[in-house]
Amino acid sequence: MKAVTSVIKGVALTMALSAISISSAQALTVYTAGPGSLAKGLAAGYEKKTGVKVDIFQATTGKVMARLEAEQANPQADILISASWDTAEDLHNRGWLLPYQSQNADKVPANLKTSDYVAQGISALGIVWNSKSGTPEPKEWQDLTSADFKDKVTTPDPALSGASLDLLIGLQNGMGDEAWKLFEQLKQNGMVVSGPNAQAVTPVMQGAKAAVFGAVDYVSYGNIAQGESLKVIFPASGTVMAPRPMMILKTTQHADDAKAFIDYVLSPEGQALVADAWLMPARTDVSAKRPLLNELKILPTTNDGNSERSDVLKRFNTLFAQ
């Protein structure tokens, strides 16, 4: 009798394990840069509509890309959502992406979509200022070089933030050599290069510093909504946008589900969730809770490829290592 019982238990265990492997095989795996709350909301909405479970890995763009690279021999991700447009260009050039153009991308501007990736939403970079810091409200990037802001400014590390590097390139394109004079003056005024965006904003939020040079805006809008004494300022001289590309990896075993997920994110419902996370929706027909692209002066970040990006980064690192 014991033998029969153990056989039954063994069969039950095998069935349970096979059920688990089937369910995980049917799940869609999304690797995404923050915000995590947005990823969870989109996953829940998609699951409700389709019944397909979504597994999420959420981290900084650098960590997400490192994991993708490490898993090349055994790819796990079906969809990647990055905070840096150049990561999508890089994966496209390497032939890693599955071409797909969603019908819901019709309302997405042409410069925010290609044959195999499309913006989920867009952020912009600005000055984030603590209004209780005892410093005058800055209006321009140059204002942060004044004596009022001596040793009171942070900036995200452009080696860890593609958007921060875009800002350096945008300012160089818009100002020429004057941009490098600006960076030099900021260095002389004691600007500190922090880690990723959150590490640059935290000391300003806590009052240890007064302003961030080139913070990603949506994080601070979320902090303001929770009562923090911060203000996001977009200089009239111009800034850069940071579209968040969304793409399907060619190695996916769930191409139809992955395409349906892209469709959902670009649907009015999905784009409303993007807007709720204080990002600009990719679709022009969905309203937002914050300034949109047409209210900002956007500087060009077009370049001749990775050589210019690495040259700008090297020059900036050399300047701030002195």
The percent of residues above 70 in pLDDT, for the chain, comes to 90
Q: Looking at the structure, do residues 152 and 102 belong to the same domain, yes or no?
A: no
Establish if 178 belongs to a structural domain.
yes
Q: Which of 37-46, 71-80, 82-91 has the lowest mean pLDDT?
A: 82-91
Q: Looking at the structure, do residues 144 and 252 belong to the same domain, yes or no?
A: no
Burial status of residue 150 (CB atoms within 10 A of its CB: 0-12, 13-18, 19 or more): middle
Q: Looking at the structure, do residues 128 and 256 belong to the same domain, yes or no?
A: no
Phi, psi for 262 (deg, rounded to 5):
-60, -45
Establish if 29 belongs to a structural domain.
yes
For the chain, counts of helices (H) and of strands (E): 11, 10
146-201 confidence digits (pLDDT tens): 999 999 999 999 988 888 999 999 999 999 999 999 999 999 999 999 988 889 99
Q: Looking at the structure, do residues 115 and 141 belong to the same domain, yes or no?
A: no
Q: Which residue has the tokens 């022009």?
A: 284
Establish if 190 belongs to a structural domain.
yes
248-300 confidence digits (pLDDT tens): 999 999 999 999 999 999 999 999 999 999 999 999 999 999 999 999 999 98
Q: Would you list the DSSP string of 55-94?
A: EEEE--HHHHHHHHHHTTTS---SEEE-S-HHHHHHHHHT
Number of domains in the chain: 2
Q: Looking at the structure, do residues 92 and 173 belong to the same domain, yes or no?
A: no
Q: Looking at the structure, do residues 196 and 306 belong to the same domain, yes or no?
A: yes
Q: Looking at the structure, do residues 118 and 159 belong to the same domain, yes or no?
A: no
Q: Looking at the structure, do residues 190 and 302 belong to the same domain, yes or no?
A: yes
Q: Looking at the structure, do residues 107 and 168 belong to the same domain, yes or no?
A: no
Establish if 153 belongs to a structural domain.
yes
Residue 35 preceded by cis peptide, ω within 30: yes
Establish if 90 belongs to a structural domain.
yes
Burial status of residue 35 (CB atoms within 10 A of its CB: 0-12, 13-18, 19 or more): middle
Establish if 185 belongs to a structural domain.
yes
CATH code assigned at 265 = 3.40.190.10
Q: Which residues pair with 298 in a beta bridge?
A: 239
Q: Looking at the structure, do residues 158 and 220 belong to the same domain, yes or no?
A: yes
Cα(275)–Cα(294) distance, integer angstroms: 16
Q: Looking at the structure, do residues 67 and 199 belong to the same domain, yes or no?
A: no
Establish if 137 belongs to a structural domain.
yes
Tell which wins on pLDDT, 84 or 227: 227
User: Domain range for residue 316?
Assistant: 123-241+297-321
Q: Which residues pair with 93 in a beta bridge?
A: none
Q: Looking at the structure, do residues 196 and 234 belong to the same domain, yes or no?
A: yes
Confidence grade of residue 3 (pLDDT, cut at 50, 70, 90): low
Establish if 292 belongs to a structural domain.
no
